[in-house]
Amino acid sequence: MNKRDVFPSDTPIILNQFILYISLPAMALLQIPKLSLSFDAVIPVIMAWIVMSVSAGVIFYISKRLQFSKEVTGSLMLVGVLGNTSFVGIPIVQAYFGDSALPYVLMYDQLGSFIVLSTYGTFVSAYYSSAKNVDIKTISIKIITFPPFLSLIVAMFFIGSTFNPIVVSVLSSLADTIIPLALVAVGLQLKFRLPSEDLKPFFSALGVKLILAPAIAILITYIFSWESKAALVSIMEAGMGPMITAGAIASMSGLAPRLSSAIVGYGTIISLMSTWLLSTLILM
């Protein structure tokens, strides 16, 4: 029986919306206040922006060098740069580092991946799909009205504070829905079609996302001698597979939909093994 016969076609959309509008905000409000006001809290944000900036530059160079089409280049600039740092990142990092790592995951995701998706992602999808104008006002509104981002800002005002046990219980119950819902949503959205003509851009995107990106993060920690949990979590986040939302944006923008779906699908599965190898390397 096909998974589409069991679940309605819009199930992934509904699950993703629940996670984005309820689960992630609850986790932000629960975990961010636990952060201490130290440089460690900023490390994930610094790492996220450096890793994604370098990755975008490398993807652009490879695309020019191999003469990929405009549509394929736009696809790779999205799925080869943006990582699944929340839906997949949260359960993977939690498995290897425990609940104490979750505040750093949220910092990397919300002040890194999400803002890059909302600004850079919107620009790339508009430019490479031949749109004439990029509406800066729309991008700004999207950022400041996104529920997880709003909850992150609110939560930062409560750093060092302790909530009432009843509030903590409610937030914990909602935050705990992320892992099961995210894993089901990811599974329902995976697609694995990969024609031979897509092999070069496919391996280019996954090479940058799963190998180069975490290598950049490791190099940064080595250069600055960062050895804290925040740094290790940032390395793991850098090594996450392609962002499903980025793949959806690429597909909706007409940027090589078949290729975008294949990169996200295979990349998600491969990343389960690559992140295990990465964790083994950095925890030696």
What band does 217 get if pLDDT is binned at 50, 70 and 90? very high
What band does 69 get if pLDDT is binned at 50, 70 and 90? very high
The CA distance from 153 to 155, in Å, is 5
Degrees, nearest 5: CA angle 140-108-240: 115
Quickly count: other Cβ atoms within 10 Å of residue 207's Cβ.
15
Considering the entire predicted model, what is its pTM?
0.80
Pull the structure tokens for residue 242.
Answer: 């392609």
Q: Is the model more confident about 109 or about 65?
A: 65
In contact, 75 and 253? CB cutoff 8 Å: no
Q: Which residues contact 128 (CB under 8 A, 6 or more apart)?
A: 70, 71, 73, 74, 75, 77, 253, 255
Residue 186 pLDDT: 65
Q: Which residues contact 139 (CB under 8 A, 6 or more apart)?
A: 118, 119, 122, 123
Q: What is the mean pLDDT of residues 204-217?
A: 97
Residue 159 pLDDT: 82
Q: Is the model more confident about 82 or about 125?
A: 82
Over residues 142-175, the pLDDT tens digits come to 667 777 778 878 888 888 888 899 999 999 999 8
What band does 60 get if pLDDT is binned at 50, 70 and 90? very high
Radius of gyration of the chain (CA): 18
Quickly count: other Cβ atoms within 10 Å of residue 222's Cβ.
11
Share of the chain above pLDDT 70, in %: 90
Residue 9 pLDDT: 74
Q: Which residues contact 144 (CB under 8 A, 6 or more apart)?
A: 150
Computed over every residue of the chain, the mean pLDDT equals 85
Residue 235 pLDDT: 96
pLDDT exceeds cutoff 70 at 130 = no
Smallest CA-to-CA distance from 88 within 282, 270, 211 is with 270
Structural domains of the chain sorted by starting position, each given as residue range(s) with its CATH number in brackets: 3-282 (1.20.1530.20)
In contact, 240 and 105? CB cutoff 8 Å: no
Q: What is the mean pLDDT of residues 111-132?
A: 79
DSSP secondary structure, 195-209, as one string: -GGGHHHHHHHHHII
pLDDT exceeds cutoff 70 at 135 = no
DSSP annotation of 33 reads G
The CA distance from 23 to 85, in Å, is 15
Return the exposure string of 170-206: e unless at least 16 CB atoms fall within 10 Å of the residue's CB, then b: ebeebbebbbebbeebbebbbbeebeeebeebbebbb
In contact, 53 and 239? CB cutoff 8 Å: no
Share of the chain above pLDDT 90, in %: 42
236 dihedral zone (left: phi>0; alpha: psi -120 to 50; beta)? alpha
Q: At 106, which amino acid appears?
A: L
Residue 264 pLDDT: 86
Quickly count: other Cβ atoms within 10 Å of residue 30's Cβ.
24
